[in-house]
Structure 1
Amino acid sequence: MHSDGVSGVEVKRVFIGAGCNRIVNNVSWGASGFVSFGANNSVAIFSPKSAQILTTLPGHKAVVNCTHWLPSTKFFFKAKQLEQHYLLSGDADGTIILWELTLVDGKWRQVLQLPQSHKKGVTCISGIIVSQTEAIFASASSDGSVCLWELVFPLRSGGECKVSCLDSLSVGSKSMVALSLVELPGNSEQIVIAMGGLDNKIHLYCGGRMGKFVHACELKGHTDWIRSLDFSLPICINGEANNIFLVSSSQDKGIRIWKMALCGSMSNGHGTYRKEEISLSSYIEGPVLLAGSSSYQVSLESLLIGHEDWVYSVKWQPPLKSVIGDEYYQPQSILSASMDKTMMIWQPEKTSGVWMNVVTVGELSHCALGFYGGHWSPNGDSILAHGYGGSFHLWKNVGNDNWLPQKVPSGHFSSVTDIAWARSGDYILSVSHDQTSRIYAPWKVEASLKDGEFWHELSRPQIHGHDINCVTVVPGKGNHRFVSGADEKVGRVFEAPLSFLRTLDNATLQKSGSGDNVLTDVQILGANMSALGLSQKPIYVQAARETPEKNGIDGLDTLETIPDAIPTVFTEPPIEDQLAWHTLWPESHKLYGHGNELFSLCCDHKGELVASSCKAQSATVAEVWLWQVGSWKAVGRLQSHSLTVTQMEFSHDDNYLLTVSRDRQFSIFTITRTDAGEVSYSLLARQEGHKRIIWSCSWNPHGHEFATGSRDKIVKIWAVEKGSSVRLLMTLPQFASSVTALSWAGLRDRRNDGLLAIGMENGQIELWRLSYNRADDGSIAAPGIAAALAVRIDPFICHATTVNRLAWRKNEEGHTSMQLASCGADNCVRVFDVTVSS
């Protein structure tokens, strides 16, 4: 996907990193082969084949709770002729949106928003395909209602979809959180909907395709909330496919399989069961369900016990193609996912028919914190879980029930507050309110695979007990270092361990330390988290060679110990378990001095000074501290603002420090360094720049001009003149939303041109082309500076809410296109390729 500008600027999506909302019905695997999930208030789509997020769909105003594909994997055999697939997404405000994906070109469009029928959040959406052009789906909400809808697809591409509400059921104060629909065997005009929720019972409703649904019966047995329900397709027993199975799971840790067998009208009138047929897999007789002219005996087929915690999801394996003909049949195989950090596959034993757990995955992980849902791939050879940490876990059956972990996309599961490029431009570092920092890089595959760069998460340097607000990478020679600031008063300095440097070499196909030859000096292999502290302790190269002692007494884990991290060099992108445990960076220093939570950080271009600010409501707390890189001593306290300094940046020659603040002022400090390495500073200018908070600022890479952006929706361009005063050069036309992020890049070979990236509270990013005339003394001469909108980036590759930070990659020689990284409150990190042609 890309956006074309009027002035020869083209923008393409390179990478999207995002974590999954921690909500149970959030993920759906479609017959299209793609997986959908809610990432904050956008719907993200990822391809399990490439482990890349392909796009995000903007449109929801609240957090996305659930997504559901039509056709889902259960109906992939009915999807063969379809040119479009559809996706439903429901949010915490009760809004449901229908999206259309055209398979040929991968283009998405928002078809419609369903008429508002839910007053509170949508908890679950489930649907079935009843013909080539028709689907029926149900939506449940925490307002205690369940709605049934009919969706008619267009016969040809470009036609319109029709959605109508068939019925709305009020299920009372205890809302439903699980739904499943089925067409009854022997009577496809009749549809049964099963719903379960907070009253521990499964309610079955029956109705025709045209409307009203009536309560048919309820199934009792579970002793806690029902969390998941799934009907099978008809299962053939004794040559007749008149049986449907319903599987249910609950917070009582149990899974129940219910059988619905056709008796009544189609059979001999006496019911097909005779009481004397009692075997081990016998049923416990339940209610009879009446649907139209048919009746169905419901019985408990099996109770599956094996999980040690709440079972959040159960799913029948999608149908398989039979050996003869073009028929498909329902395999007797169920996938369950639980908060006990495992997924299990259950199948009946060949001889006795007793259901057994045949596969268990996930039990070795000590960091997944439980699974919220499990999903089958369309052909049943892969299973996907999403977990409490916003993470995905994918296993593939590589033969003979040997299930091996596969690569998946990953990302933050809370607002991403700051990003920075490595000084080499090899990776980006992001920090988030999910209390982690993460490193993403393109994993350069063999040249023969010509489908571009695939980015992956390489490392999770910091895992912390506080929300992280800001980060800065320290440029300059030597090892990779960064400083981060969180909701604590301390800045923390981290240094890359040997294991990371070697992994980075593998990712970038370079040799040793990216040209700086740092590998020889690095004695720290990795880092370990102390069980009760927040500091990440170094693991030294020497110590790692000796055998580590076992934790606890006789190797038993006690509460005070946590498993030892094993710093690992990766030759392919690491998966969640490895990232969360074996890729930590050691902390080398703490910066004490601020009176409140840290809010912003920046480093100069030589890598000698770091500036930091914290949340403030008075002038004394609002001072900016300067730290000397290396000794990490505080070498300055700059006073000028009366409220939080929201962003800071050193000019590209490091002579000035620009700060902007909630107090609507900006300040320019002159920074001078003596040969002895001492730093002195003075306030050159302070003035009110805007009518509201100034959120962001950025210097022109080729001069002493800078831009400021504010909540008043205005961007202004200023210049420092003759080192003594500041002049307003121009004000850009008012934007549609508050300006929250700015980043100014120079264009190669054109000193008097620049691109200003502008990010807004509504998630939009615009690139503006700036051209200026310079006089001989370097100042801006008349007619001054000209600005034109170069490109408005396509909303499908932009953020869905506030853009928190924008950062251009330093344009190294040899890079033809420029790269822009962005992060936002929609949990996403994004990288764009920007090509300037004219």
Structure 2
Amino acid sequence: MNNNKSVEVERVFIGGGCNRIVNNVSWGACGLISFGSQNAVSIFCPQTAKILTTLPGHKASVNCTHWLPNNKFAFKANLWKKQYLLSGDAEGVIILWEYSLAENKWRYVSQLVQSHKKGVTCITSIVISETEAIFASTSSDCVVNVWKIVLPASEADCTVSCLDSLSTGLKPMVTLSLMELPGSTTYLLMAMGGLDNKIHLYCGDRTGQFVRACELKGHTDWIRSLDFSLPVSINGESHNILLVSSSQDKGIRIWKITLCDSVENFDKKKAENSLAYYIKGPVFVAGSFSYQVSLESLVIGHEDWVYSVEWQPPIVKDNNNSYYQPQSILSASMDKTMMIWQPERTTGIWVNVVTVGELSHSALGFYGGHWSPNGNSILAHGYGGSFHLWKNVGDQIHNNWKPQKVPSGHFADVTDIAWGRCGEYLMSVSHDQTTRIFGSWQMEANSKGDDDTWHEIARPQVHGHDINCLAIIQGNKGNHKFVCGADEKVARVFEAPLSFLKTLNHATSRVHDDLQLDVQVLGANMSALGLSQKPIYAQASRDASEKSGNEGFDALETIPDAVPSVLTEPPIEEQLAWHTLWPESHKLYGHGNELFSLCCDHQGKLVASSCKAQSLAVAEIWLWEVGTWKAVGRLQAHSLTVTRMEFSHDDKYLLAVSRDRQLSLFSIDRTDGSDQINYQLVTKQEAHKRIVWACSWNPFGHQFATGSRDKTVKIWAVQKDNSCAQLIMTLPTFKTSVTALSWAGLDRKNNDGVLAVGLESGLIELWSISLRKSEQDLAVLVPKASLIIQFDTFMCHVSPVNRLAWRNAEKNDDSDSMQLASCGADHCVRIFNVSFL
């Protein structure tokens, strides 16, 4: 590669799931949605169903995010040129981010000085004016902090100051809400709820300290969510504020806070002893006014814990100065439903007017629900790290809530990725116990005049163990197959069903040669224990649809049957989780411990597997013959876990690297005309001073790279006489451990390539590797290496990169770009477009 060539890297796709925690998601006034994905703060656009970026900065898992202004104050945000985002993590750190609407750029502003000592559980805010906002944070350390943020009119930085710090005793608060008191322009009311089953109200001046006002009793379990409405008019009375609360007691309560007399006419002792105090509710004083709190309504309807309640955002009237607060509440529960509640016009009784999600058997409950700023969409995030979005496509009289596309991805470490054998899709496996397929949906892209839009198009495996490794069977014959290994001693083989093959044709807009009409397996069904997946045959599926009921089934096996179908547009979560499974065709027994690494040769004839090991006997590599799935070899070289294996591109060698700091090289010889495979250990030698995590072959020759925890990448060449692997070059030391490598060929004639290096810090670098022959001695290689580009930190992972994979190992002459996929411990799968200019 010529040094004068430059490289541009463009982010194509990010797939990632939501951290499984309450208060993690926030819908901003700008229309974007924020959520925590492991250590990263992810931003997604609901219109395009794409994750736009991830924000690096947190060192611990992100617990909660909160927009300034959020959907509640969208009516005040028309003139805001910049929006702000607060994020809190499991170590108590809160970070402030700035988003420029005009430039569409993010900036890290600051980490708040007075952090919490334990994980942040909730952040809430109130927008006072265009230049001022108050926000509060609570944590497991039983402290609530109240902050003031002053937003600059010019380009200067905003300033954040801590107004007050409140101790909540021995039981922490888990939810907060702030509101201005009616009739007052300076006093705020803060509601907090948590583990003591009570709602605590505090009032305070905008500049001063908050003091306890009163307690609201009624809930019989932990308070999970609180939200103040803006002032509403009830029965002709103005100056009312409604507070909605939800709890693990499955109930929702609505409290009314009413402006009473001025303080001159108020006697606190007399009020507390009066009958009205016990019937109507407690009274408190703020400034020159007194306020009474009463229970307005008790709302029952959910069958499980209600994790979140939220008022519909205010609707702006003709001009921007006036608005009204709709009396409409969204609740989300672990019973897998979200409900919208509104009072009946005649009786005022709160009733459920919309229920969504009740048919989903995959959601496993919702952790939170949110309104869009205009109130025509609602979003839930679930136990499976997934999002569920519904949009009201009906008119003002008749609601019609339809599911919409959302981004999706893993909700735990993504441990391995592999491209489909022709690069049609990317498959990933994760410790969230799922295998997922991401593909570009070209029909959709062409209709919008856009580039390829990437989506999760199938979930072939939902397992009962954490999945560690993956190998897609290469070669051009037969069906799409893959082998995966998990925290069990068995490798499992899966084969694509007919429904996926047809879906793939829709996604790529071309007919695949391997779409064989004699494929009788339509899809797969999940077993009760979540291990094996049983095939559904086309004929059996038709027969089952003619019957009804579950006659003849064991009670333990009464799980819903999958309905595999051909998808003509990107699927939503409910379809992915149940109806896109692949049947399991074989189990490969032999290893003594949990599977750790897998690879397939380029002809699609051999699969190599390794497992976690602490002895020579257990650390052996097993070779399996594709098709018969017989064990045809057991290769011994290492004494600890073999971390990575890869076949050379001509399939003559198998390279393995291990925790024992060694590399081993085996020659693989296939006897012509027979299925017999001969293998021999060529060399075993010390490669690095620490664990060797990664290796990758040069597509054009018998040279390979290894990467280690010792922060180095070494380039080796196999000697002609097969005596050893000779070290020919060591790249400059990296700042952190090298955890992933992938070598792509650029120019076969000159043996030029590009090596992608993934680091423990999450960063990715591209290095130019030139291995040209010496003019004096053609048997000698002259190695040269140079750093081409280091990816922008906002593009990279925020935790260790687990795997890198080029879409095609060799660049086509007529194409100036290649695609690189990566996966990491931050739960994300990423695809980059690398253009050689």
Bin of the TM-score, shorter chain as denominator length: over 0.9
The aligned residue for residue 380 of structure 1 is 375
* Counterpart residue type for residue 510 of structure 2: Q
SS of structure 2 residue aligned to 1:691: coil
**How far, CA to CA, are the matches of 1:625 and 1:364 in structure 2?**
44
Spell out the pairing of 1:445-594 with structure 2 (5 A cutoff). Answer: 445-476=444-475, 477-511=477-511, 514=512, 516-532=513-529, 534-548=531-545, 558-594=555-591
The aligned residue for residue 245 of structure 1 is 242
Contact 1:625/1:636 (CA < 8 Å) preserved in 2? yes
**How far, CA to CA, are the matches of 2:407 and 2:736 in structure 1?**
31
Deviations, residues 512-534 of structure 1 (Å, cap 9, x unaligned): xx2x2332231111001122462
Q: Does the C-alpha gap of structure 1 residues 284 and 501 become closer, same or farther in structure 2, counting only changes over 3 Å?
A: farther
**How far, CA to CA, are the matches of 1:262 and 1:121 in structure 2?**
36
Question: Is 1:149 the counterpart of 2:144 in the alignment?
Answer: no
Contact 2:498/2:522 (CA < 8 Å) preserved in 1? yes
Contact 1:6/1:791 (CA < 8 Å) preserved in 2? no
Deviations, residues 624-680 of structure 1 (Å, cap 9, x unaligned): 000000010000000000000000000001000000000000011010001212110
SS of structure 1 residue aligned to 2:780: strand
**How far, CA to CA, are the matches of 1:109 and 1:419 in structure 2?**
31
Question: Is 1:342 the counterpart of 2:340 in the alignment?
Answer: no
**How far, CA to CA, are the matches of 1:38 and 1:6 in structure 2?**
40
The aligned residue for residue 742 of structure 1 is 741
The aligned residue for residue 671 of structure 2 is 674
Cα distance, 1:326 vs structure 2: 4.9
Q: Does the C-alpha gap of structure 1 residues 615 and 780 become closer, same or farther in structure 2, counting only changes over 3 Å?
A: farther
The aligned residue for residue 222 of structure 1 is 219
Spell out the pairing of 1:397-476 with structure 2 (5 A cutoff). Answer: 397-399=392-394, 400-444=398-442, 445-476=444-475
Contact 1:7/1:790 (CA < 8 Å) preserved in 2? no
**How far, CA to CA, are the matches of 1:72 and 1:358 in structure 2?**
25
Question: Is 1:356 the counterpart of 2:360 in the alignment?
Answer: no
Contact 1:235/1:244 (CA < 8 Å) preserved in 2? yes
* Counterpart residue type for residue 688 of structure 2: H
| TM-score under structure 1 length normalisation | 0.95
Contact 1:94/1:116 (CA < 8 Å) preserved in 2? no
Contact 2:377/2:390 (CA < 8 Å) preserved in 1? yes
**How far, CA to CA, are the matches of 1:588 and 1:776 in structure 2?**
53
* Counterpart residue type for residue 588 of structure 1: S
Contact 2:463/2:530 (CA < 8 Å) preserved in 1? no
**How far, CA to CA, are the matches of 2:570 and 2:131 in structure 1?**
41
Deviations, residues 302-329 of structure 1 (Å, cap 9, x unaligned): 0000000000000000011235775211
**How far, CA to CA, are the matches of 1:301 and 1:496 in structure 2?**
56
**How far, CA to CA, are the matches of 1:241 and 1:469 in structure 2?**
60
Number of aligned positions between the proteins:
820
Spell out the pairing of 1:437-836 with structure 2 (5 A cutoff). Answer: 437-444=435-442, 445-476=444-475, 477-511=477-511, 514=512, 516-532=513-529, 534-548=531-545, 558-675=555-672, 676-724=674-722, 725-747=724-746, 751-774=750-773, 781=780, 784-810=782-808, 811=810, 813=812, 815-836=815-836
Contact 2:747/2:753 (CA < 8 Å) preserved in 1? no
* Counterpart residue type for residue 227 of structure 1: R
Q: Does the C-alpha gap of structure 1 residues 55 and 172 become closer, same or farther in structure 2, counting only changes over 3 Å?
A: same
The aligned residue for residue 302 of structure 1 is 297
Percent of aligned positions that are identical: 69
SS of structure 2 residue aligned to 1:795: coil
**How far, CA to CA, are the matches of 2:689 and 2:392 in structure 1?**
60
**How far, CA to CA, are the matches of 1:169 and 1:544 in structure 2?**
61
Q: Does the C-alpha gap of structure 1 residues 306 and 556 become closer, same or farther in structure 2, counting only changes over 3 Å?
A: farther
Question: How large is the Cα RMSD of the aligned pairs?
Answer: 2.1
Contact 1:284/1:300 (CA < 8 Å) preserved in 2? no
Q: Does the C-alpha gap of structure 1 residues 284 and 833 become closer, same or farther in structure 2, counting only changes over 3 Å?
A: farther
Q: Does the C-alpha gap of structure 1 residues 260 and 771 become closer, same or farther in structure 2, counting only changes over 3 Å?
A: same
**How far, CA to CA, are the matches of 1:776 and 1:628 in structure 2?**
43
Cα distance, 1:116 vs structure 2: 3.5
Cα distance, 1:451 vs structure 2: 2.7
Q: Does the C-alpha gap of structure 1 residues 6 and 63 become closer, same or farther in structure 2, counting only changes over 3 Å?
A: farther
Question: Is 1:24 the counterpart of 2:22 in the alignment?
Answer: yes
SS of structure 2 residue aligned to 1:447: helix
Deviations, residues 694-735 of structure 1 (Å, cap 9, x unaligned): 000000011111000000001000101214132111111110
Contact 2:744/2:811 (CA < 8 Å) preserved in 1? no
Gaps of 5+ in 2: 272-276
Q: Does the C-alpha gap of structure 1 residues 746 and 778 become closer, same or farther in structure 2, counting only changes over 3 Å?
A: farther
**How far, CA to CA, are the matches of 1:247 and 1:666 in structure 2?**
62
Spell out the pairing of 1:186-265 with structure 2 (5 A cutoff). Answer: 186-237=183-234, 241-265=238-262
**How far, CA to CA, are the matches of 1:664 and 1:525 in structure 2?**
46
* Counterpart residue type for residue 304 of structure 1: V
Contact 1:478/1:518 (CA < 8 Å) preserved in 2? no
Cα distance, 1:543 vs structure 2: 1.6
Question: Is 1:81 the counterpart of 2:76 in the alignment?
Answer: no
Q: Does the C-alpha gap of structure 1 residues 678 and 308 become closer, same or farther in structure 2, counting only changes over 3 Å?
A: same
**How far, CA to CA, are the matches of 1:432 and 1:723 in structure 2?**
41
Cα distance, 1:452 vs structure 2: 1.6
**How far, CA to CA, are the matches of 1:636 and 1:486 in structure 2?**
21
SS of structure 2 residue aligned to 1:542: helix
| TM-score under structure 2 length normalisation | 0.95
- Name whichever of 110-119 and 170-179 sits farther off: 110-119
Deviations, residues 454-508 of structure 1 (Å, cap 9, x unaligned): 1110100001000000001001122100000000001000000000011111111
The aligned residue for residue 130 of structure 1 is 128
SS of structure 1 residue aligned to 2:557: coil
Contact 2:490/2:595 (CA < 8 Å) preserved in 1? yes
The aligned residue for residue 274 of structure 2 is none
SS of structure 2 residue aligned to 1:799: coil
**How far, CA to CA, are the matches of 2:384 and 2:279 in structure 1?**
40
Deviations, residues 15-56 of structure 1 (Å, cap 9, x unaligned): 000000000010000001000000001000000000000000
The aligned residue for residue 293 of structure 1 is 288
Contact 1:346/1:358 (CA < 8 Å) preserved in 2? yes
The aligned residue for residue 322 of structure 1 is 317
The aligned residue for residue 112 of structure 2 is 114
Q: Does the C-alpha gap of structure 1 residues 267 and 53 become closer, same or farther in structure 2, counting only changes over 3 Å?
A: farther
- Name whichever of 23-32 and 765-774 sits farther off: 765-774
SS of structure 2 residue aligned to 1:504: helix
Q: Does the C-alpha gap of structure 1 residues 557 and 321 become closer, same or farther in structure 2, counting only changes over 3 Å?
A: farther
**How far, CA to CA, are the matches of 1:666 and 1:314 in structure 2?**
56
SS of structure 1 residue aligned to 2:448: coil
* Counterpart residue type for residue 364 of structure 1: L
Cα distance, 1:777 vs structure 2: 12
SS of structure 1 residue aligned to 2:772: strand
Spell out the pairing of 1:38-57 with structure 2 (5 A cutoff). Answer: 38-57=36-55
SS of structure 2 residue aligned to 1:806: strand
Cα distance, 1:752 vs structure 2: 2.2
Cα distance, 1:548 vs structure 2: 3.8
Contact 1:283/1:300 (CA < 8 Å) preserved in 2? no
Contact 1:183/1:189 (CA < 8 Å) preserved in 2? yes
Cα distance, 1:448 vs structure 2: 4.4
The aligned residue for residue 185 of structure 1 is 182
Q: Does the C-alpha gap of structure 1 residues 779 and 540 become closer, same or farther in structure 2, counting only changes over 3 Å?
A: farther
Deviations, residues 107-142 of structure 1 (Å, cap 9, x unaligned): 001100001431100010000110101110000000
Contact 2:737/2:759 (CA < 8 Å) preserved in 1? yes
**How far, CA to CA, are the matches of 1:833 and 1:165 in structure 2?**
44
**How far, CA to CA, are the matches of 1:559 and 1:371 in structure 2?**
25
Contact 2:415/2:429 (CA < 8 Å) preserved in 1? yes
Question: Is 1:14 the counterpart of 2:9 in the alignment?
Answer: no
